[in-house]
A and B are shown apart, each in its own frame.
Chain A
Amino acid sequence: MIPAGFEYHRPADLSSAIGILLEHGDEARVVAGGHSLIPMMKLRMAELAHVIDLQDIGELKGIELGASTVTLGAMVTQHELITHEGLAKAIPVIREAALQIADPQVRYVGTIGGNVANGDPGNDMPGLMQCLDATFTLFGPDGTRDVPARDFYQAAYFTSRSDDEILTRITIPVPAAGTGQAYVKQKRKIGDYATAAAAVLIGNGTASVAMTNLSDTPVYSAEASEALANGDIDGCVAAMLASIDPQEDMRGPIPFKRHVAAVILRRAIDSALSRKS
């Protein structure tokens, strides 16, 4: 459980970080909270000559509440998401989801940017960001570009971010007042990834549904969302079940996962409906 030797970099601004990335190419990776990368390095499943720690880069911090959008710096920690009262008022489902990630010690260090950028299908925030229709801002040698969360994930650990880009900000439209929001997660114990998790928004004539850890990417389903917007819960569940592709692991076999996916989605819908006004 000891990683191979590596060089540790700790730049103070984004352009320096990009400079180091460009210099070392695929021998370098950025690290945010480190909860995914460092265990992989300790298992020697990831061997990197250069690790670029982003924690000193001020540009990556901060939660900004706008009239119609919320912007989160990539290095905002899960703990900050949970304790930010304005954010909890604007988009309460973010706190609800963050409280179900890992444990308090991990959440003090784990970041929203690391959670969404790593492309780990087990992470909770990618599905939630798809549900919320967030946009990810990427900064690279050619400047910045925006990618919708719903287009970002390609396969497990593969995203549309290129190796010389850093995810800097996440912009989330604030759901209309009265929108029912819920994040429901089944897990084996505190700290575990989801066996199945569902993020649901239900507004007046609108709805959005995404699920976590039931495929090699988070699963947003436009069809399921539309069915739910029309009040067709069974149709929503059926559409979602047609979109997921769970794999067997120690959490259980595929039929179990498909079953609980439907159960958890229904519970999230019930919860969101109960909060809708």
Chain B
Amino acid sequence: MKDEVQSPEDRSAKLKGMGCSRKRVEDVRFTQGRGNYVDDIKLDGMLVGDFVRSPYAHARVASINAEAALAIPGVLAVITAKDLEPLGLHWMPTLAGDKQMVLADGKVLFQGQEVAFVVAKDRYAAADGVAAVEVDYEELPVVTDPFKAMEPDAPVLREDLAGKTEGAHGPRRHHNHIFTWEVGDKDATEKVLAEADVVADEMVYYHRTHPMPLETCGAVASMDKVTGKLTLWGTFQAPHAVRTVASLISGIAEHNIRVISPDIGGGFGNKVGVYPGYICAIVASIVTGKPVKWVESRMDNLMSTAFARDYWMHGKISATKEGKITGLWCHTTADHGGFDACADPTKFPAGFMNICTGSYDIPVAFLSVDGVYTNKAPGGVAYRCSFRVTEAAYFIERMIEVLAIKLGMDAAELRRINFIRKDQFPYQSALGWEYDSGDYHTAWDKALKAVDYDGLRAEQAQRIEDFKAGKTRKLLGIGLTHFTEIVGAGPVKNCDILGLGMFDSCEIRIHPTGSAIARLGTISQGQGHATTFAQIIASEIGIPADDITLEEGDTDTAPYGLGTYGSRSTPVAGAATAMAARKIRAKAQMIAAYLLEVHDDDVEFEVDRFVVKGAPERFKTMKEIAFASYNQAIPGVEPGLEAVSYYDPPNMTYPFGAYICVMEIDVDTGEHKVRTFYALDDCGTRINPMIIEGQVHGGATEGYAIAMGQEIAYDDMGNHKTATLMDFFVPTAWETPHYTTDHTVTPSPHHPIGAKGVGESPNVGSVPAFSNAVHDAFRAFGLVQSHMPHDQWRIWRIAENLGLHS
């Protein structure tokens, strides 16, 4: 056979395994318009639901009159909280241990809140029905500022919690208070701060924004009254969790619920939570006996489902005169909106905000977070980041810059002298994490060299002189970031969501002719799992990636897993994939040994075959082994070749990176131009470099949007001011910077293939890089801190306040 004379290298290349920039197998259908998204699902007799939404941010709902709506041809039902109450479904549990109204139960707490669900024969009739429902509101005082919400005489938002002094995460001390979460050593930190040479004290606000998947959220519920089975298609980042939660709150037995996530057009955290639309579609299907579809409009999406960030982070960082950091203190006021619907592991009400010591060896630290209710939409999801990690990274990377100003030091050098050293890993952080691995100095030096950091600083100094001399009106900012992520939630011992342990899974079946199908508990929303997980299997067991089908998202067929968010797919399900593959390889070794008539230990794996040690001409390919496994009686070995692995990771993984942004700023108009954006990522073992590069481009573009203009803004009346793409900034190709990507490789020591996850690093790392560039441009003129987003008028205001316009 031709194959037999090929070198191991040639055979390895044919597998398209790990390290290969294999083209995305998904793109064939996506680029031809053949994807199958929730809104593409059309079932016989399918009805459509749409919401009546509150125009007020805080009001009593005195009455709802559906008469005129029901008179519209095609409108079949108008469901209100009163209809859901007998089923116990007028409220639903949130992922954060709070509860949320499915439909307004006597009052509304944010503009856009779901008040009634109109069910109609098509979208047009549903929209007419929504317009015809008459709701009588009595306005109540509105509070949109979390600090004002905590004042003694602030309006009471959650009347359902009256008198409840104990919340899901401990004591509540005010009627709008949700929780206080404390980590670290308070007394020791305060002592260090009190005795320090230098303390930088600053408020760092990470504004409210919103994930922007191309596809909004939606679901189709179909209750088959004959079989008693409920099928639920939806934009779910965690289909198995949705099935379990749906069973627990509806009382339908879990085996009678099938949840399917079809193709998903981006998630970015927006599709982790459970939304009223899902519940209403299910109830409407049960009531009508017909399939019911609910799909958000873009405005619905921006107003109601899952915002991100909105953290006011007050920080104090202390150091010696020489710049050695001695302590970090942070108090965060977290604005959660009307309900606490944060998507965090249950034991972490502020997510992994306690990664806020970042890449630095900080001996002592203390973090406290207060969650607060306001008249804004609920959510608090991880927008392309592991739970609150982007807030933490932004906080520490701003505090480092503020400290550098206080010390009069170069911010690159300040980072360098405080990095955790390579020999300190595994590193125990002051706030409780064990960083698995890292080599920050190498990455940092490589990044600074790549952008010619010293040359940039010299150019900047010249620019400042020219500006002062009136020769230019443009300033130059150099934005530095060294971020450390914490991803891959997570070890079941401390990570669960609503009690569901955060392991993940993979099941692999090898077919008799040597091709395979693999199924995972995760669900791709654009990450390219069908491409990359096949590459892991290809490298582990020697079957070409092109011969492996990969399926996710159908709870009737896929093994149980907690889904895709927080860069957890590769760290957890990727590990399960490697482990399942290794089980198959172990069995294949026994079969090969039997076929070659040698002892198990006398054969060894080589790319795509087992060879007899010392006799490379004697071998059995995986293809031959697969056929034999089904068709040859082998004593003591069961027929078939398949395996499943449920992987409970021993630790998180800690990807890191060095990002540098060089930005030109027009002092007079507030306009900016990104001249250079350099992104060095270390995500451990690299499975598909092309997909990594794509992830970095996508995440950095989201980060660019967030830093430079994207926000969810409310006025004092709680009116949503950014509910369309006119005002909610999404960059086009024109605005998007050019990116230069780079990497170092520090494999995770505890992950089977050493991979760490990369999808979210570029969002986490780029936001501080862009923001620090803006700040850095004005550092010479006295700027210390100015909150994002850095849109034109806010940059103009910096210059105005510094007197640069006179």
| Total contacts A-B at CB 8 Å | 64
The chain A residue with its CB closest to the CB of B721 is: A250
Residues of A92-149 contacting chain B, CB below 8 A: 103
The chain B residue with its CB closest to the CB of A47 is: B131
Given the complex, which residues of A lie within 8 Å of B805, measured CB to CB?
259
Given the complex, which residues of B lie within 8 Å of A103, measured CB to CB?
732
Assess whether B792 is in contact with A195, with CB atoms less than 8 Å apart: yes
Which secondary structure dominates where chain B touches chain A? Answer: loop
Assess whether A253 is in contact with B732, with CB atoms less than 8 Å apart: no
Closest approach, in angstroms, between the C-beta of B650 and any C-beta of chain A? 45
* Contact of B400 with A by CB under 8 A: no
How does the 8 Å CB contact mask read for B772-806 relative to A, with 1 for contact and 0 for none?
Answer: 00000000000000000001110011001000010
Assess whether A260 is in contact with B669, with CB atoms less than 8 Å apart: yes
Assess whether A5 is in contact with B124, with CB atoms less than 8 Å apart: yes
Given the complex, which residues of B lie within 8 Å of A4, measured CB to CB?
127-128, 131
* Contact of B546 with A by CB under 8 A: no
Given the complex, which residues of B lie within 8 Å of A263, measured CB to CB?
668-669
Assess whether B124 is in contact with A250, with CB atoms less than 8 Å apart: no
* Contact of B722 with A by CB under 8 A: yes
Assess whether B796 is in contact with A191, with CB atoms less than 8 Å apart: no
How does the 8 Å CB contact mask read for A208-250 relative to B, with 1 for contact and 0 for none?
Answer: 0000000000000000000000000000000000000000001
Closest approach, in angstroms, between the C-beta of A254 and any C-beta of chain B? 10
Assess whether A188 is in contact with B791, with CB atoms less than 8 Å apart: yes
**Contact flag A192-B669 (CB < 8 Å), given A4-B131, A252-B796:** no
Assess whether A259 is in contact with B796, with CB atoms less than 8 Å apart: yes
Question: Which of the listed residues A191, A250, A253, A263 has the most CB atoms from chain B within 10 Å of its own CB?
Answer: A250
Given the complex, which residues of A lie within 8 Å of B732, measured CB to CB?
103, 189-191
**CA A259 to CA B670, docked complex, whole Å:** 11
The chain B residue with its CB closest to the CB of A251 is: B793
Which secondary structure dominates where chain A touches chain B? Answer: loop
Given the complex, which residues of A lie within 8 Å of B185, measured CB to CB?
none
Given the complex, which residues of A lie within 8 Å of B497, measured CB to CB?
none
Closest approach, in angstroms, between the C-beta of A252 and any C-beta of chain B? 3
How does the 8 Å CB contact mask read for A250-274 relative to B, with 1 for contact and 0 for none?
Answer: 1111011001100110000000000
* Contact of A67 with B by CB under 8 A: no
How does the 8 Å CB contact mask read for B726-744 relative to A, with 1 for contact and 0 for none?
Answer: 1101011011000000000
Assess whether A186 is in contact with B671, with CB atoms less than 8 Å apart: yes
**CA A268 to CA B624, docked complex, whole Å:** 75
**CA A44 to CA B797, docked complex, whole Å:** 36
* Contact of B20 with A by CB under 8 A: no
Residues of B663-681 contacting chain A, CB below 8 A: 668-671
**CA A61 to CA B415, docked complex, whole Å:** 64
How does the 8 Å CB contact mask read for B716-758 relative to A, with 1 for contact and 0 for none?
Answer: 0000011000110101101100000000000000000000000
* Contact of B477 with A by CB under 8 A: no
**CA A83 to CA B668, docked complex, whole Å:** 33
**Contact flag A259-B128 (CB < 8 Å), given A103-B732, A191-B732:** no
Question: Which of the listed residues A2, A4, A263 has the most CB atoms from chain B within 10 Å of its own CB?
Answer: A2
Among candidates A189, A190, A264, residue contacting B669 with C-beta atoms closer than 8 Å = A264
How does the 8 Å CB contact mask read for A195-209 relative to B, with 1 for contact and 0 for none?
Answer: 100000000000000
How does the 8 Å CB contact mask read for B120-133 relative to A, with 1 for contact and 0 for none?
Answer: 00011001100100
Q: Which 7 A-B pairs have the closest CB atoms?
A: A252-B793, A2-B127, A250-B727, A256-B793, A1-B297, A190-B734, A190-B732
- A to B CB contacts below 8 Å, 8 in the list: A4-B128, A103-B732, A189-B729, A189-B731, A252-B791, A255-B800, A256-B793, A259-B805
Which B positions have Cβ atoms within 8 angstroms of A? Answer: 123-124, 127-128, 131, 297-299, 668-671, 709, 713, 721-722, 726-727, 729, 731-732, 734-735, 791-793, 796-797, 800, 805
**Assuming A1-B299, A103-B732, A256-B670, what are 13 further A-B pairs, CB within 8 angstroms?**
A2-B124, A5-B128, A186-B671, A186-B792, A188-B709, A188-B792, A251-B793, A253-B793, A256-B797, A256-B800, A259-B668, A259-B800, A260-B668
